[in-house]
Amino acid sequence: MRVALIAVVAALSLSACSADPGPPPVQAKAESTAPIIAPGRPGEPARTIGPDEARTAVPAPTANAADVKYVQDMVTHHRQAVDMAVLAPSRADSAALKGLASRIKDAQGPEIQYMTTWLQQQGMKVPDHHASHTGMPGMATPEQMRALKAASGKDFDRLFLTLMTAHHQGAITMSEQVLVGGSHIKIEELANDVAATQSAEIRRMREMQAGL
């Protein structure tokens, strides 16, 4: 930028002293060739891309089928995480686990509301509370949920950490898929946030599992 500024100043000085200044310096061309740093997907480093690629890499403000499916599925996915988290205060032994469960509930509750509103704005159906989650990555089975509700103390802690770790890994998988197939900028932002937050929570849960 400093070199470009010097060049512009020099050109302006010459134009002031010449009767035939010629065409002004074309700054737009210099800007059009500037490299752009594109953030990587979860687990990938940022990379440098050219302007031509950047124009096609920018997410669109309109949604496609992958965006809608991701949001609908993630509403159901988040609801189960909240259902698991609300069990912790009365069943968990670990204070640290209770704190983690509280953070999960406090984060995913508002995300459910955000996704519900987004679907309504798109004119798309919001899944009901009994929506099927067959084949959805990371979801606990009805039998596993019953076992979690019946457990207490350290048994609850162990089962909760096992199920919630798998649940978070499923959410990351879903987020990676929409980052490849989706088109809406708001959903890309959401997917990146989900992947980053839940990756950090997985690391924390693995530390807690090692201490049990």
Backbone angles phi, psi at 37, to 5 degrees: -90, 120
CATH architecture of 65-210: Up-down Bundle (1.20)
Three-state SS at 189 = helix
Neighbouring C-beta atoms of residue 73, cutoff 10 Å = 23
Q: What is the pLDDT of residue 129?
A: 85
Give the global pTM.
0.72
Residues in CB range of 63: below 8 A, 6 or more apart? 122, 182, 183, 184, 187
Rounded CA separation 103/98 (Å): 9
Structure tokens given for 31: 């800007």
Q: Which residues lie closer than 8 Å to 98 by C-beta, 6 or more apart?
A: 88, 89, 92
At 62 the pLDDT is: 86
Going residue by residue through the chain, which has 212 residues, state the pLDDT in tens, using 9 for 90 and above. Answer: 333 333 333 443 434 444 444 444 444 433 444 544 444 444 555 556 555 554 444 556 789 999 999 999 999 999 999 999 999 999 999 999 999 999 999 999 999 999 999 999 999 999 998 888 888 999 999 999 999 999 999 999 999 999 999 999 999 999 999 999 999 999 999 999 999 999 999 999 999 999 88
Q: Which of 25, 178, 161, 6 is nearest to 98 (CA)?
A: 161
Q: Which residue has the tokens 């060049």?
A: 7
Q: Domain coordinates of the chain in residue numbers? A: 2-57, 65-210
